[in-house]
A and B are shown apart, each in its own frame.
Chain A
Amino acid sequence: MKELRSVGTSVRRRDGDGHVTGQTEFVDDRSFPDLKHLHVVRSPVPHAEIEAVDTSQAEAVSGFVTALTHEDVPNNIYTILRLIDIGPNEEPLLAEERVRYQGEPIAAIVADTKRAAMEAASKVEVDLTELPAVFDVEEALEPDAPTLKEWGTNYFEYEGHECRRVRYGDVEKGFKEADHIIEERYQTSPIEQAPTETTAAIAKPESNGRFTVYTNTQALYFSLDNTAMIVDVPFSKLQFVGGTVGGGFGGKVDVIVEPLATLAAKKTGYPVQYKFTREEEMQVSSPRGAWRMYYKDGVTDDGEIVARQVTSYADAGAYNRHTPYAVTKHAANVGGPYDIPNAKFDCYCVYTTKQPSSAMRGFGVTPASFAVEGQMDKIADELGLDRWEVRFKNAYQNGDVTPHRKEVEDATLIETMQSAAEMVGRDLPPEYATMSSFKEQDNEGDSRV
């Protein structure tokens, strides 16, 4: 290994001064001659049939340039993760016959100013016939729930299964061998990524027939590829420029503003900006999804977990966004950093008539850790055991196999517990004070530490 001189030192960050003195150029700082602004007409109700959309009053607003509906979108139905083979397509860029959440885009107005676009958008008349809504994930799976998806269910299908399954060992046998069964239901809340900079893009038609898209996406190529497919322009005709973002936290991985801005630029020939207001950022941009998790652990008298069964429901809201991916990630983490010999996990991606949820820091893992650590304390407290010792007793070590059948390679949980115990002045029994994640190191001369 080469000598490390810079890595490991606190080199002053290069863009910090620019950020705090206002010198950094974000999307909204860019200006172009004839820049137009886009604002979206949104559904006022969570679930409805669209009977008619009338833009005639909007067209009379001073500064109005054009209106877009689903008829203007070449490939209107998409799903972001089709780029990694997750499908089928199921979300419209602009709603067609039906809206499935309050705030769903129905039409877009392009105007000379943001103010004119907002005023014109407010004058678009949408005739809706409301349908029954379903907000709760478990109610959405009931047979009488209103169905949101073309394929006739309210869940994402994982290779023929209604949920992402993990099966390891024999969970029923484990429960029989257990001295105690510890069960609990856990629920997390949707929260806002709360970036300083709201989601924004400017699409600019170039004289050579290409489009330059300035964007604060977290993933330039993901946004480029999806935009090209939705707007039906060759990938090679798009240039995406970004790389500097005023806070992402997962809130800027959905491809929402770039396709509409590009479509509007293509239709009008003008550069077009589509920037979320703070209200849109909070109410229609995807929040962290809420998760409901039912845990059932079989535990021996001395606190060893011998079986774990989990049924969990991710509230995707009305559309996929990134939730099908997160549920798989979640399924690999509901066991936590512990050695679980028998496991059965059923993790559902459920659709409800709500604002679609999506990625946020800890996607799928944060709710799992919340539930797992609640269980660890519950096990300790119900059995009258020490909360630290229950964790040491169950901690995974390198060489163990997880419920998703991966051999553990970089385990260091035990070492963090030992250091934390020292930090808070807690004496550990010798067996835990000398324990190691590298259980083979003595007899195999493992030199990884």
Chain B
Amino acid sequence: MLLALMMLPGFIGRVEASPVVMLAGVQSRISKSAITMTEIDTGFQEMGQVVSETLYAELAANPKFTMVDNTETARIARMDETALINQLGNGQINLELQKQADYIILGFITNVSNIKAQSGVLGVGGKDGTVHVEISMRVMDAHTGALVFATTANSRRKSELKYNVIVHRKDSGLGDALNNALDIAAQNLAAQFLEAV
């Protein structure tokens, strides 16, 4: 009788608790081709951090679920993210993560390229460059290892603009365009996640 009374508040508290979502990390899936037209020199680790921070910031405020304070887990995950994701992907349940989260988000950078276009005749015309970034996420049920949601998002930002018609103009900024594109793509990804829950 006493036991039942003592357990009651705990159970009610558990019912009210929202699901816990953890961002395990963002890694690159880009395979560099031998036939590459353009090279972007920003490291994938830096790109991953931009995506991670935006995703976390966009998702953390939502009341439907709790984003865990996963500082320690994230540190471990970053140290050996591939091994962690492989372990989770093998259907092996990570007991440490299972205690901390109900859902685990795995992020991936799947495409980064600089598309170039040009047109003109007799010296009148222009050229431009567009950074195209694509990222994806998979959401795993931490208790079963099964996929529950996966989606992709992309963003394009002008990295170079050069024309010569009546006036001459030349702007370029690949680094800024890349960061903006990653940021917008991560926001789009977060919006799709929020739409699905």
* Interaction A to B: no
Interface on B for A, CB 8 Å cutoff?
none
